[in-house]
């Protein structure tokens, strides 16, 4: 007889569904059935088991997530038995080494290990001593940067972006909850003390997400890193208020993904993304969770250890509102506008003690999570606090901030750093993810998404400004490289995570979009090459477009237009500068199996204009008709002056006679005007679409579709679901 009892997943979901929600409808009917308006229990069980069957085809005893998948399938699937005693105390030594040496991303591993320990520490798959070893590693895990660093070590962990914040706080809270009397972390305070501190930090993080959304907007990397700690808190926290709030924010996150996903591709503008994630959605970090929850694609899972899919597959207390699933799956045409993050002044002029938005304080250490959470370490109002924290906690010596070591002398005179930041804000604020307005238009055949009028001309690391999506492999976007394509046969190379050739933008275009049409004006606002210590900030004198011909049904070039068709979806991409296909040698450069050219280079200057217009057979009939209309459309681009000797451009004015939208006028300084009507590019509501509207910093969001609804009250922190 086995010591680890199996419980029926359906019974567990029925008994625990109340924990994930609140409000009258969440109390459920008298017979004890789950609350109305959540996804069907049987459907979710099958989605979970479908992933677990995939994940357990192989066994990797060194993979925390793969081991969890085997243990969970063993729990719920009577036809499957996991091997006994195969996970030894040293199985996760690679993760333990990251913990001990304080390496970056140890919080990712820490959260997965915490899930294993909390959910399966008595499972027979663990050899004797393994659970005790995991517990000890979690006990010694350094929880936050303010705690002592052991002698002889440099703490290279990155704690501050919003995904890292909630990851570290969730680990600290749950380890403290589980071991209230043990001395934890490097400060050796009790678990109860750590839990109390983490609880306040988590509640603050949840409040900021309710008010401002996610600064790493629509990120096909970091939304996964937000989802997993939220799910872990819902599953294991014993604090009803915390669980309720985490559930509501997870609903918001999943709604955001649902409205920005097309046939399984989370193919929107992204606040942060890398080459490995944005060239095909199959490789992005949200692929597993999107596939499981939204069921939009028959394409396979790409890993036996998707973090989001694994934790969703073993989730027993969170159930997604049915309305979110239906929004993800609808074929209706809609436009979704959102405003995310908080604004911050980057270009001055300097003033002493500048006022901060929403009652925050630029100089208050208690607000560090706000400013560093949006990557604003080098924004001039935050520079004095940054220098103070760098010095107090010796961050100058860490790997994350080694590039700033030459600036340490200005710590004694922060005003010098502030003036430097203002004077070079176009690149000095390279990591800032301040307030952004996004617009996404989705149909049954294409999705077009843009961050409109955002940080034009500036270097912004990892920002993905716009994209047209047809399926997970058929994607179109433009980018401004800041370095040549490196020789590499590793397609998943993150391009050094610093912008590189495909990741991010050396300069962000000024962009506008109305439904199916977008205009993107590139005009770098800093020098092409810069002196020490700023030689890192540079750019290539061209832009390019990603058009994967292998994954399109047709690609045709006519004049300045490049057209592509995927199924009944069409796209036309117009370039101000002449274009040519770059043919990368697969013996030197990775092509991910693509044989046809996919890189369309626009040479002659990084200052340029790209126009994109999408269409579909339902509106145009044939692809030929669509092409003929666009080729015949008038496009006028007027340079606003000559580039400076170092490449800085004054930009352009653009007039485009769109066959579908009419006369569109836009420019580097001009408003966006369509058929004589100015189209706003800023101050969007927090959420504005056909399924619901939330005013910026508003108190309540109600989402409705197909007779299903969810009400999210951010003041009372109540969640109410309903359905027919």
pLDDT value of position 8: 35
| Model pLDDT for residues 2-40, shown as the tens digit of each residue | 333 333 333 333 323 333 333 334 433 444 456 789 999
Mean pLDDT value across the chain? 93
| Model pLDDT for residues 97-112, shown as the tens digit of each residue | 999 999 999 999 999 9
pLDDT value of position 655: 98
Q: What is the mean pLDDT of residues 75-79?
A: 97
- 3-state SS class at 112: helix
| pLDDT of 403 above 80 | no
pLDDT value of position 149: 97
pLDDT value of position 23: 37
**Cα 723 vs. chain centroid, distance in angstroms?**
30
Contact yes or no for 365/122 (Cβ under 8 A): no
pLDDT value of position 18: 31
Distance CA 204, CA 194 (A): 16
Cβ neighbours of residue 654 under 8 Å, at least 6 residues apart?
A: 519, 521, 609, 611, 635, 636, 637, 638, 664, 665, 666, 667
| pLDDT of 313 above 60 | yes
| pLDDT of 70 above 50 | yes
For 588-612, the DSSP string reads TB--TT--S--EEEE-S-S-EEEEE
pLDDT value of position 10: 34
Q: What is the mean pLDDT of residues 332-346?
A: 98
- 3-state SS class at 358: helix
Q: What is the mean pLDDT of residues 327-338?
A: 98
| pLDDT of 648 above 70 | yes
Q: DSSP alpha helices (H): ranges in 279-347?
A: 287-294, 307-313, 322-329
Distance CA 191, CA 185 (A): 9
Q: Is residue 495 very low, low, confident or very high in pLDDT (cuts 50, 70, 90)? A: low
pLDDT value of position 21: 35
Q: What is the mean pLDDT of residues 383-402?
A: 93
pLDDT value of position 14: 30
Q: Is residue 491 very low, low, confident or very high in pLDDT (cuts 50, 70, 90)? A: confident
pLDDT value of position 493: 73
CA distances from 338 to 9, 116, 313, 323, 341 (A): 37, 36, 30, 19, 10
pLDDT value of position 33: 56
Cα dihedral sign for 703, 709, 713, 719?
negative
| Model pLDDT for residues 31-68, shown as the tens digit of each residue | 445 678 999 999 999 999 999 999 999 999 999 999 99
pLDDT value of position 627: 98
Q: To the nearest 10°, the Cα dihedral for 240, 244, 246, 251?
A: 160
| Number of residues assigned to the chain | 724
Q: Is residue 492 very low, low, confident or very high in pLDDT (cuts 50, 70, 90)? A: confident
Q: DSSP alpha helices (H): ranges in 237-286?
A: 240-259, 275-278
| pLDDT of 536 above 50 | yes
Q: What is the mean pLDDT of residues 367-389?
A: 97
And the tokens for 444? 């049954």
Q: What is the mean pLDDT of residues 232-248?
A: 98
Q: What is the mean pLDDT of residues 524-553?
A: 95
């Amino acid at each position: 007889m086995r010591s680890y009892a199996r419980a029926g997943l359906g019974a567990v979901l029925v008994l625990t569904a109340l924990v994930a929600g609140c409000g009258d409808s969440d109390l459920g009917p008298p017979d004890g059935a789950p609350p109305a308006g959540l996804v069907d229990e049987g459907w979710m069980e099958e989605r979970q088991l479908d992933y677990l069957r995939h994940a357990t085809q192989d066994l990797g005893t060194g993979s925390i997530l793969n081991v969890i998948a085997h243990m969970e399938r063993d729990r719920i699937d009577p036809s499957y038995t996991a091997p006994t005693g195969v996970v030894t105390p040293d199985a996760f030594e690679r993760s333990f080494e990251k913990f001990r040496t304080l390496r970056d991303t140890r919080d990712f591993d820490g959260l997965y290990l915490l899930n294993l320990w909390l959910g399966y520490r008595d499972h027979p798959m663990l050899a004797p001593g393994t659970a005790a070893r995991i517990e000890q590693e979690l006990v010694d895990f350094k929880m936050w940067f303010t705690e002592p660093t052991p002698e002889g070590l440099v703490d290279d962990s990155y704690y501050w972006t919003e995904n890292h914040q909630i990851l570290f706080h969730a680990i600290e809270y749950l380890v403290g909850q589980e071991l209230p009397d043990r001395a934890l972390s490097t400060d050796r305070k009790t678990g109860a003390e750590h839990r109390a501190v983490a609880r306040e930090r988590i509640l603050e993080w949840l409040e900021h997400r309710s008010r401002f959304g996610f600064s790493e907007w629509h990120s096909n990397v970091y939304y996964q890193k937000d989802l997993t700690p939220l799910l872990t808190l819902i599953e294991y926290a014993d604090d009803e208020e915390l669980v309720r709030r985490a559930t509501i924010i997870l609903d918001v996150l999943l709604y955001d993904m649902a409205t920005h996903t097309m046939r399984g591709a989370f193919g929107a503008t992204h606040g942060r993304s890398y080459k490995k994630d944005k060239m095909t959605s199959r490789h992005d970090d949200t692929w597993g969770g999107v596939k499981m929850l939204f069921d939009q694609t028959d394409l396979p899972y790409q890993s036996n250890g998707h973090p989001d899919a694994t934790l969703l597959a073993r989730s027993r207390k969170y159930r997604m509102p049915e309305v979110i699933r239906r929004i993800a799956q609808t074929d209706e045409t809609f436009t979704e506008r959102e405003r995310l993050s908080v604004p911050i002044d980057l270009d001055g002029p300097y003033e002493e003690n500048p006022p901060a938005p929403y009652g925050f304080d630029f100089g208050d250490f208690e607000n560090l999570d706000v400013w560093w959470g949006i990557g604003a370490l080098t924004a001039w109002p935050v520079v004095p606090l940054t220098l103070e924290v760098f010095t107090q906690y010796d961050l100058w010596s860490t790997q994350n901030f080694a590039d700033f070591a030459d600036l340490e002398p200005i710590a004694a005179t922060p005003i010098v750093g502030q003036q430097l930041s203002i004077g070079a804000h176009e690149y000095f604020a390279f990591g800032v993810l301040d307030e952004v307005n996004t617009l996404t238009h989705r149909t049954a055949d294409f999705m077009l998404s843009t961050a409109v009028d955002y940080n034009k001309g500036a270097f912004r690391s990892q920002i993905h400004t716009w994209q047209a999506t047809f399926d997970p492999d058929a994607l179109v976007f433009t980018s401004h490289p800041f370095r040549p394509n490196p020789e590499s046969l590793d397609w998943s190379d993150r391009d050094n995570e610093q912008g590189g050739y495909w990741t991010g933008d050396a300069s962000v275009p000024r962009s506008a979009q109305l439904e199916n049409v977008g205009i993107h004006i590139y005009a770098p606002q800093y020098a092409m090459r810069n002196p020490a210590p700023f030689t890192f900030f540079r750019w290539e004198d061209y832009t390019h477009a990603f058009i994967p011909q292998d994954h399109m049904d047709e690609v045709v070039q006519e004049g300045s237009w490049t057209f592509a068709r995927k199924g009944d979806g069409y796209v036309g991409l117009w370039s101000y500068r002449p274009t040519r296909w770059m043919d990368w040698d697969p013996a030197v450069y990775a092509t991910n199996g693509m044989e046809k050219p996919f890189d369309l280079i626009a040479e002659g200057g990084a200052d340029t204009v790209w126009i994109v217009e999408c269409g579909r057979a339902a509106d145009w009939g044939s692809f030929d008709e669509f092409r003929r209309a666009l080729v015949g459309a008038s496009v006028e681009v007027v340079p606003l002056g000559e580039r400076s000797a170092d490449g800085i451009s004054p930009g352009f004015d653009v007039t485009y006679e769109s066959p579908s939208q009419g006369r569109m006028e836009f420019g580097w300084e001009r408003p966006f005007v369509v058929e004589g009507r100015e189209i706003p590019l800023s101050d969007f509501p927090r959420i504005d679409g056909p399924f619901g509207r939330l005013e910026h910093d508003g108190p309540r969001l109600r989402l409705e579709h197909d007779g299903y609804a969810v009400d999210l009250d951010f003041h009372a922190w109540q969640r109410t679901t309903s359905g027919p």
